[in-house]
Amino acid sequence: MNRSLGIISLILLVAIGVITSASLFTVHQTQQALVLQFGDPRRVITEPGLNFKVPFVQNVIFIDKRILDLDTPAEELIASDQKRLVVDAFTRYRIVDPLQFYKSLRDERRARSRLAATVSSSMRSVLGEEEFQAVVRDKRDELMLRIRDFVNEQASDFGIEIVDVRIRRADLPAANSQAIYRRMQTEREQEASEFRARGQEVSRAIRAQADKQVTVLLAEATRDSEIIRGQGDGCRNRVFAKVFGQDPDFFAFYRSMQAYERALQEAGTTMVLSPDNAFFKFLKDPNSVLAASQTGTVKRGKRVDVAKIIKDGGSLSGALCPEIVADVVAPVVE
């Protein structure tokens, strides 16, 4: 008897536990719950905590109340200026009315499908009224707000609130981008060619001006040098003429000594001349050359051995002429 009572008590405890487990459910802080009775909504629970339901009669559907993301595939649209562009956007939304959400969409999978179609139609409607430049650059923020408001108007029937709609990328299609890139490249090459041609023109003008200035400077320098050289030659000739007039014999001797020195300074010099040539006038009799030095080792009036001086590698004009030049040329220059 006692054994039967224990078994019955155990069965009752298990039944009570099963019933209690089927009656209790917990709502997480990131969720909201919808209590259904035979598929008919009875309660909406938005606060987290422990809740009760009728076991075996009611069931609970949990719906996320966090902000959810919806990534839509990139779409090709046509702007008001008939330019094609590819728009890649994403949407953030949350479920604010679980009962309306359940009645209209039932689950999140169908909600994503309907919401993607709504976002696509809203983008086409809003962006199709604007020009390409406005979509890409000028009015992008304003257009995203307009799309969000437009989607919100339609999503309110689903119990969904659109938090934000963002255009991730708005660009030309690949084929159009390549064509525009080639056109831009051609334009830049034309500009570069034009700049290069202008630079070459300026370069040729500068080079021509520089060549002209060089020619003028060289001509002027040549003219001035010839004038100076002519004046120097004239002055030299006048001095030599005056000095030569004072002592013709000495200057004949002096110039002959310079000629000997320049002609015989290189080793192995060979000259083929007749013996009675005037060039050898002062080499025939070395003792006939009068020394002109007043203070040197050779006194005026003495004879000099010219052959010995040349043999020793000395300078005839250096050994004989400085004092003579000082005696004869200086008075004429003064």
State both tokens at 83.
């330019």
Determine the Cα–Cα distance for residues 284 and 172; give it in Å rounded to an integer. Answer: 108
Q: What is the pLDDT of residue 22?
A: 77
170 with 134: CB under 8 angstroms? no
Judged on CB neighbours under 10 Å (0-12, 13-18, 19+), 46 is middle
Is residue 330 very low, low, confident or very high in pLDDT (cuts 50, 70, 90)? Answer: very low
pLDDT higher for 84 or 114? 114
The residue whose two tokens read 């255009």 is 167
Q: What is the pLDDT of residue 308?
A: 54
Is residue 58 very low, low, confident or very high in pLDDT (cuts 50, 70, 90)? Answer: confident
Write down the mean pLDDT value for the chain: 78
pTM of the model: 0.50
Determine the Cα–Cα distance for residues 18 and 4; give it in Å rounded to an integer. Answer: 21
Determine the Cα–Cα distance for residues 282 and 23; give it in Å rounded to an integer. Answer: 152
Longest dimension (CA), the chain: 181
Q: Residue 35 pLDDT more than 70?
A: yes
289 with 295: CB under 8 angstroms? no
Is residue 332 very low, low, confident or very high in pLDDT (cuts 50, 70, 90)? Answer: very low
Q: Sign (positive/negative) of CA torsion 18, 20, 23, 29?
A: negative
At 249, which amino acid appears? Answer: D
Q: What is the pLDDT of residue 160?
A: 92
pLDDT higher for 253 or 156? 156
State both tokens at 4.
């039967």
CATH fold for the domain made of 68-172:
Tetrahydropterin Synthase; Chain A (3.30.479)
Q: Angle at Cα 318 formed by Cα 314 and Cα 322, nearest 5°?
A: 160
Distances (CA, A) of 319 to 37, 257, 282, 291: 144, 10, 16, 9
- Boundaries of every domain in the chain: 22-63, 68-172, 247-333
Q: What is the pLDDT of residue 268?
A: 66
| 140 phi, psi to nearest 5 deg | -65, -45
46 with 32: CB under 8 angstroms? yes
pLDDT higher for 77 or 289? 77
CA atoms within 13 A on the CB side of 138: 6
Q: What is the pLDDT of residue 227?
A: 92
Dump strand ranges (E) for 106-249: 160-171
Determine the Cα–Cα distance for residues 249 and 100; give it in Å rounded to an integer. Answer: 141
At 309, which amino acid appears? Answer: I
pLDDT higher for 21 or 45? 45
Determine the Cα–Cα distance for residues 79 and 56; give it in Å rounded to an integer. Answer: 57
Q: Residue 180 pLDDT more than 80?
A: no
Q: Could you write out the DSSP letters of every residue in 288-311?
A: GPBP--SSSSSPTT-B--HHHHHH
